[in-house]
Amino acid sequence: MATTNDIKNGTVLKIDGQLWSTIEFQHVKPGKGGAFVRTKLRNVRSGKVVDRTFNAGAKIETATVDRSDYQYLYQDGDSFVFMDTKTYDQINVPELVVGDAANYMLESQVATIAMHEGEPLYIELPASVVLEITYTEPGLQGDRSTGGTKPATLETGAQIQVPLFLEQGTKVKVDTRTGDYLGRVND
């Protein structure tokens, strides 16, 4: 058993038989009354986000989560096949667990998979990835009515907004958390 003093971002808590990942936490010591810890938690299975407050020093149950690097191999139906980079064991990760990360994964890319008792909980990609634009409309010179962006399809099939001057075949850096365009990458 741990206490609320052990809560950090990324800590996985076991509450009412469910696993919750800590997104944010804040220790609060008001002038009157006892201290408490305000947290924002995400259910690792459903993705639901809730706010939860704990009394300072209260006992909480943490879950053992192992994070390992896996290489993405291919998609097999409604699951994704990954290979452990150390043991070369292959695991199937359901599409529900992979979630939006599928929009930014290319074959042979390395991702971190968090496992609890042999079950994959979630996938962590690097903060940004480099992907090629496979289709976008040509930008019209002087057209600023749309705020200077246009839709572009990436090699993974995901669509993002990019500046008007970018063309098909350009490699771009994309934020894997938000899907935002971060910049052009020169080879």
Q: pLDDT for 140-160, tens place per residue?
A: 666 555 567 888 999 998 999
* Fold (topology level) of 128-185: OB fold (Dihydrolipoamide Acetyltransferase, E2P) (2.40.50)
pTM of the model: 0.72
CATH class of segment(s) 66-124:
mainly beta
Q: Where in the chain is the domain with CATH 2.40.50.140?
A: 66-124, 128-185
CATH number for the region 2-60 comes to 2.30.30.30
- Cβ count near 19 (within 10 Å): 21
Residue 122: what pLDDT? 82
Q: Where in the chain is the domain with CATH 2.30.30.30?
A: 2-60
Q: Is the CB of residue 131 less than 8 Å from the CB of residue 141?
A: no
pLDDT in tens, 159-184: 998 888 888 889 999 998 888 999 88
pLDDT band per the 50, 70, 90 thresholds, residue 74: very high
What are residue 106's phi and psi, to 5 degrees? -110, 155
Percent above pLDDT 90 for the chain = 27
pLDDT band per the 50, 70, 90 thresholds, residue 8: confident
CA 73 distance to own-chain centroid: 19
HSE, CB side, 13 Å, CA atoms: give it for residue 16.
3
Dump the DSSP string for 94-161. EHHHHGGGGGG--TT-EEEEEEETTEEEEEE--SEEEEEEEEEPPPPTT--TTTTEEEEEETTS-EEE
- Cβ count near 133 (within 10 Å): 20
Q: Is residue 21 exposed (0-12), middle (13-18) or buried (19+ Cβ within 10 Å)?
A: buried
The token pair that represents 163 in the structure block = 């500046």
